[in-house]
Amino acid sequence: MSREEDKRTVILGVGNELLRDEGIGVHVARRMAGMEFPFPVEIIEAGNVPDCWQAYEPVGRLVVIDAVFGGGEPGAVYRFRPEEVDWETCLSTSMHHLSFLESLKLGEIAGERPETIVLIGVEPKEVSWGMELSEEVQRCVPRVVDIVVNEIVRNR
């Protein structure tokens, strides 16, 4: 299937929800669960398994939500593409067993890469034991949901 409309859009919530704000992607995925779209969309709580999107072939568009240390204020939201990331820095600072970018690179080697990949990052405040998000990060969840919805609907 090479037609774009035949390919799925996957929203991937990445993060360790046991480390407070590090679990932002999982919290956003849960908030989006049950949302309906006029085309196939899979919403996945990936947790610490960022390569699980590969089970959803064919994937035309992949939107990943994760905590990102970008130097902004807690709750700051970033939008970027994998090619805009410094691989050396990213691979050495991932808090997942396998970083999303490592899983993407492995997928490329296997010939599995979505046509469009967008990462939505949220600056964490608290990365320590606990399951609740900090107040600053919790406040940005509705905004992140809106950004993800706009990303997949606008660019369809």
Host domain of residue 143: 4-154
- Taking alpha carbons only, the member of 13, 66, 17, 8 closest to residue 44 is 13
The domain total for the chain is 1
Strand order in the sheet with 116-122: 41-47, 8-14, 59-67, 116-122, 77-80
Predicted TM-score (pTM) of the model is 0.84
User: What is the percent of the chain with per-residue pLDDT over 90, rounded to a whole number?
Assistant: 54
Q: Where are the beta strands (DSSP E) in 50-106?
A: 59-67, 77-80
Position 104 confidence tier, pLDDT thresholds 50, 70, 90? low
More confident site: 145 or 91: 145
The CATH number of the domain holding residue 141 is 3.40.50.1450
